Amino acid sequence: MTQRWSIRLLVGALTFAALLVAVKVSLPTKVVDGKEVVSLPTVAIGQEILYRIEVGVLLFYGGLVVLTPVFRGMILGRLPIEISARGAKFAEEVDESIGATQALVAAHQQQIAALETQALRSRLNIDQLASGANVTLDD
């Protein structure tokens, strides 16, 4: 229960910080003919509000990417073994994934064995029919 409240508090603080920085961030400028002119990046499509929203979203998700493994490491004592575009991967998740994959492989191997048996029966029936023998199909 304490962990949930800690996470909620962390996300709330991160959201507040991202909004505050997005509002307070100064706009990029460049000097043209001796005058300082606002020069927003192309992704902002020349709109200040869109630029500020993008800064806020960037800070929020960037903070989540950094703080999630740090928070989990401090609270649970487990650091991630991999951080990718899909997020942080922890050891227990990898172990569960390996177990699930092994179970799927075993199920597929059983299906393959059943299909091979069925194919062998079908081949024997075809050979018997080709030789003119009387065949009764049991499956």
| pLDDT tier, 70 (very low <50, low <70, confident <90, very high otherwise) | confident
Same domain, 19 and 70: yes
pLDDT given for residue 1 in this prediction:
56
- Find the radius of gyration of the CA atoms of the chain: 31
pLDDT confidence bin for 115, thresholds 50/70/90: very high
Q: What count of other Cβ atoms lies within 10 Å of the Cβ of residue 129? A: 12
Count of domains observed in the chain:
2
Q: For the chain, first and last CA: distance in Å?
A: 57
What is the distance between the alpha carbons of residues 7 and 67, in angstroms, rounded to a whole number? 10
Based on the fold, state whether residues 85 and 95 are members of the same structural domain: no
Residues 72 and 96 placed together within one structural domain of the fold = no
Give the Cα separation of 89 and 79 in Å (integer): 9
Claim: this prediction has a pTM higher than 0.95: no
Q: Are residues 40 and 74 in the same domain?
A: yes
Tell me: do 62 and 121 sit in the same domain: no
Closest CA to 82 of 101, 100, 95, 69: 69
Whether 10 and 57 map to the same domain: the answer is yes
Cβ-defined contacts of 107-111 (< 8 Å, 24+): none
Residues 100 and 116 in one domain: yes
Whether residue 79 is found in the same domain as residue 112? no
The domain of 117 spans 90-139
